[in-house]
Amino acid sequence: MMGPFFENRATMAWVVLFLAGLFEIGWAVGLKYSEGFTRLWPSVATAVALLASMGLLGVSLRTLPLGTAYAVWTGIGTVGTAGLGIVLFREPATTLRVFCITLIVVGIVGLKLATARLEH
């Protein structure tokens, strides 16, 4: 029993899509740590995260519209990877860059809200 939160198929699809986005962040960052797939364990972790990300995206597409799910999936990956690039790899956090990342977050939220209206 998962409780009433997960009884709604669309809600579960959004949770799965969010997890897919987190795994996308994992494989994108893993690419950096694998150093062009020259380091074994970071390369293995990257491949596992990639497969998990794609698999979960596929599951979410059973319920969610393709365009929305793909845009949200890549948006989560983009925002998370850019954020971790700033934190882990000391990439610049300029005002313009942070503003643009914020726009992506607004777009993700907007797509979620627009899709929620279609579900009712």
Where do the H-state alpha helices sit in 2-94?
Answer: 9-34, 40-60, 66-89
- Under the phi-then-psi rule, with left for phi > 0, alpha for psi from -120 to 50, and beta for the rest, what region is 46? alpha
Neighbour-count burial for 24-62, b at 16+ CB within 10 Å, e otherwise: bbbbbbbbeebeeeeeeebbebbeebbebbeebbebbbe
pLDDT (tens digit per residue) in 7-39: 688 999 999 999 999 999 999 999 999 999 999
CA dihedral 87, 41, 24, 60 (to 10 degrees): -150
The CA-based angle 79-70-89, given to 5 degrees, is: 25
Residue 1 has pLDDT above 60, yes or no: no
SS3 call for 17 = helix
pLDDT (tens digit per residue) in 30-87: 999 999 999 999 999 999 999 999 999 999 999 999 999 999 999 999 999 999 999 9
Residue 2 has pLDDT above 80, yes or no: no
pLDDT (tens digit per residue) in 93-109: 999 999 999 999 999 99
Task: Please give the Cα distance from 40 to 67 (Å, whole number).
Answer: 35
Residue 116 pLDDT class (50, 70, 90 cuts):
confident
Predicted TM-score of the model (pTM):
0.89
